[in-house]
């Protein structure tokens, strides 16, 4: 006698509809929080919401399976997908701790892939639930990608302010998309074509945001070796373009052939060549590169092809590009320093990292949270009493209205200064505010343009604290700003020395 396929009760169907919403929602978004609360039911503590939700789903699946693994393909058509989603939700959370442990083990091991102990039992469980082997292998890789994205986004970009919450949500979307179901069905292995540009002031944490995204890419699982084909620790390659002279930028990006220019004594492999499949190249300070370099990078983004300097051999770029700049991209485009077509091709996704000023305006208590985190990182262990003392020193010396022109980077150095000296009033060697003497010289027309520009840059540097901010205000190159500020400081010192 042929057995009738089981069906879900109306209560089960209602529960599993919620699970479907939770399984595919952004974990940093409001929707996931609302669904988790519905799944968890009333009562209990807020910090236990996810555990209660997972337990409820797991118990229902165990009941449906009669003590063994429930197979989604045993149900009637209208229920198959709901049961499948519940299984996916349960298996992911069942092995979440094992995936976190593997992340730590891989970080400690370095760039060679290590055995993923969680993966064989996860693979076996997925197959026992009815997934065929190719789909189960893909799910193991997607699950680990999701675990990495959550790990790096949650741990490297702290803060309860709405702007930081939006940033974390945006980075998850950049790695997994807004819908995990859409991603797993259609976009696995196809994200290399989705370039991202990260915008924000100097010191806000653009590099941390890029690294979190860059370490969250899809990497296939090799079930024969019981490890992933690449270590996520080897897939992220960062290049700060402002560190290189115009003549060296192309070589660092594209590589060069032996004899391509004076001093090219051997072939050099550039960043685009070193980034293999599943790799990410982070191009920091993209606003500094020349138009000819932008044109060559545009070809890389559109055709995945490039030539090393001095070579006719065409090479293929196999990774994903993340770029960043602290500059105003609209201004760069208006001034013709950033090509529109290059910008549009870079900006499949635009991630904006908020300033520390914005974060503290929204949530003032975020400063204490950041100080505690920085103290823990610097000291190697949580130190609540030390962090409290540091926060008091910052409040005493800088006050609540301090604008933090250097953002989180400035805060970190401020914490270090307090740990060393007990205070954070940095001695300033920048020139004083404009004096009546040189304002008078301007009025009389006695001040050379070069000297005027130097004094103006030095005054802006005194107010804002960074060469990058002065460069953004004046439209000058950072190196040019530094030259003018240094010259103005030197002249001011010479004028005050007894003669």
Cβ-in-10-Å burial (0-12, 13-18, 19+) of 213 comes to: buried
pLDDT for res 437: 56
Number of other residues whose CB lies within 10 A of the CB of residue 362: 16
Report phi then psi at 270, rounded to 5.
-80, 175
pLDDT digits (tens, 9 = 90+) for 69-128: 999 998 988 899 999 999 999 999 999 999 999 999 999 999 999 999 999 999 999 999
Cα separation, 12 vs 83, in Å, equals 9
Cα separation, 477 vs 480, in Å, equals 5
pLDDT for res 44: 73
DSSP state of 268: B
pLDDT for res 430: 42
pLDDT digits (tens, 9 = 90+) for 218-267: 999 999 999 999 999 999 999 999 888 887 899 999 998 887 787 777 88
Q: Using an 8 Å Cβ cutoff, are 126 and 78 in contact?
A: no
Cβ-in-10-Å burial (0-12, 13-18, 19+) of 253 comes to: buried
Can you name the CATH fold of 159-354? Answer: Rossmann fold (3.40.50)
pLDDT for res 409: 95
Number of other residues whose CB lies within 10 A of the CB of residue 473: 15
Cα separation, 189 vs 380, in Å, equals 37
pLDDT for res 429: 41
Cα separation, 417 vs 403, in Å, equals 18
The sign one gets for the Cα dihedral 470, 373, 158, 348 is positive
Cα separation, 254 vs 122, in Å, equals 41
* Domain locations along the chain: 159-354, 359-421, 436-496
Structure tokens at 431: 């020139």
Cα separation, 91 vs 66, in Å, equals 17
pLDDT for res 261: 80
Residues of the chain with pLDDT under 50: 1-2, 427-433, 496-499
Cα separation, 121 vs 240, in Å, equals 42
């Amino acid at each position: 006698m042929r057995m009738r396929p089981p069906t879900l009760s109306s209560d089960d169907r209602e529960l599993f509809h919620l699970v479907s919403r939770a399984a595919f929602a952004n974990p940093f978004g409001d929707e996931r929080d609302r669904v988790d609360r519905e799944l968890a039911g009333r009562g209990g503590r807020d910090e236990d919401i996810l555990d209660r939700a997972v337990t409820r789903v797991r118990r229902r699946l165990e009941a449906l399976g009669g003590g063994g693994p429930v197979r989604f393909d045993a149900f009637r058509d209208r229920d198959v997908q709901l049961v499948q989603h519940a299984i996916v939700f349960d298996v992911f959370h069942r092995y979440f701790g094992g995936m976190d442990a593997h992340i730590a083990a891989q970080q400690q091991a370095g760039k060679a892939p290590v055995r993923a102990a969680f993966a064989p039992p996860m693979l076996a469980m997925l197959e026992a639930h009815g997934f065929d082997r190719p789909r189960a292998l893909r799910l193991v890789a997607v699950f680990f990608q999701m675990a990495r994205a959550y790990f790096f986004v949650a741990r490297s970009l702290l803060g309860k302010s709405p702007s930081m919450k939006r940033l974390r949500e945006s980075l998850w979307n950049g790695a997994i998309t807004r819908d995990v179901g859409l991603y797993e069905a259609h976009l696995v292995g196809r994200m290399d074509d989705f370039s991202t540009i990260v915008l924000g002031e100097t010191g806000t944490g653009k590099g941390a945001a890029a690294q979190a995204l860059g370490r969250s890419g899809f990497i296939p699982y090799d079930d024969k070796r019981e490890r992933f084909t690449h270590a996520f620790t080897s897939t992220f390659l960062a290049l700060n373009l402002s560190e290189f002279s115009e003549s060296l930028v192309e070589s660092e990006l594209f590589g060069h052939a032996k004899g391509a220019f004076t001093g090219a004594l051997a072939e050099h492999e550039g960043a685009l060549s070193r980034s293999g499949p599943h790799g990410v190249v982070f191009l920091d300070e993209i606003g500094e590169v020349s138009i000819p370099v932008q044109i060559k990078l545009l070809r890389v983004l559109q055709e995945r092809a490039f030539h090393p300097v001095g070579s006719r051999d065409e090479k293929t770029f196999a990774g994903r590009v993340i770029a960043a700049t602290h500059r105003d991209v609209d201004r760069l485009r208006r001034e013709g320093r950033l090509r529109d077509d290059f910008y549009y091709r870079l900006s499949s996704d635009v991630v904006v990292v908020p300033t520390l000023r914005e974060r503290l305006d929204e949530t003032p208590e975020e400063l204490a949270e950041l100080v505690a985190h920085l103290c823990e990182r610097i000291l190697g262990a949580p130190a609540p009493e030390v962090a409290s003392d540091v926060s008091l020193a910052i409040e005493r010396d800088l006050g609540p209205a301090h604008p933090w022109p250097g953002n989180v980077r400035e805060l970190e150095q401020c914490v270090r200064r307090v740990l060393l000296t007990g205070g954070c009033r940095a001695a300033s060697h920048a020139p004083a505010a404009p004096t009546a003497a040189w304002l008078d010289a301007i009025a009389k027309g006695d001040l050379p343009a070069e000297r005027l520009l130097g004094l103006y840059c030095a005054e802006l540097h005194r107010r804002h604290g960074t060469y990058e901010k002065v460069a953004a205000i004046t439209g000058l190159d950072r190196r040019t700003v530094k030259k003018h500020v240094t010259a103005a400081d030197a002249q001011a010192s010479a004028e005050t020395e007894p003669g």
